[in-house]
């Protein structure tokens, strides 16, 4: 169990994005531009899929960590915040709840 959250990682990515001393992978990836960061995100997604299909549970954990990190880098480049994505997920939960109730009423 850990207290570490995606919000913590979002803050770290934001801090490291502005590093200029060459010490940050995050800063160097962002400097390469949106297409490179998005390509990395796609690669990590595929590697997660391969690990899952292979039944490699440890691989799914490792590749998922890479996937989430690269997703947060793409969000940073795109100006998207975790809170906005969570709000969209919450909206869908509420929406599906309403649709479910509407479905019950008509049946």
Q: Which of 52, 59, 64, 66 binds ligand PRT (CB under 6 A)?
A: 66
Number of residues that bind ligand PRT (CB under 6 A): 8
Region binding ligand PRT by CB under 6 A among candidate stretches 24-32, 51-59, 74-82, 83-91: 24-32
Smallest separation (angstroms) from ligand PRT to the CB of 89: 22
Q: Give residue for tokens 């998005």.
A: 38
Contact 85, 75 (CB under 8 A): yes
For residue 69, state whether it binds ligand PRT (rule: CB under 6 A). Answer: yes
Among 6, 24, 52, 62, binds ligand PRT (CB under 6 A): 24
Residue with smaller CB distance to ligand PRT, 39 or 93: 39
**Contact residues for ligand PRT, defined by CB under 6 A:** 12, 16, 24-27, 66, 69
């Amino acid at each position: 169990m850990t207290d570490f959250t995606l919000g913590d990682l979002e803050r770290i990515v934001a801090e490291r994005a502005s590093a200029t001393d060459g010490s940050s992978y995050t800063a160097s990836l962002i400097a390469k531009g949106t297409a490179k960061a998005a390509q990395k995100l796609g690669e990590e997604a595929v590697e997660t899929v391969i690990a899952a299909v292979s039944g490699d549970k440890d691989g799914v954990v490792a590749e998922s960590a890479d996937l989430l990190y690269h997703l947060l880098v793409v969000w940073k480049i795109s100006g998207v915040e975790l809170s906005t994505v969570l709000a969209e997920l919450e909206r869908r939960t509420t929406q599906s709840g309403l649709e479910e109730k509407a479905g019950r009423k008509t049946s």
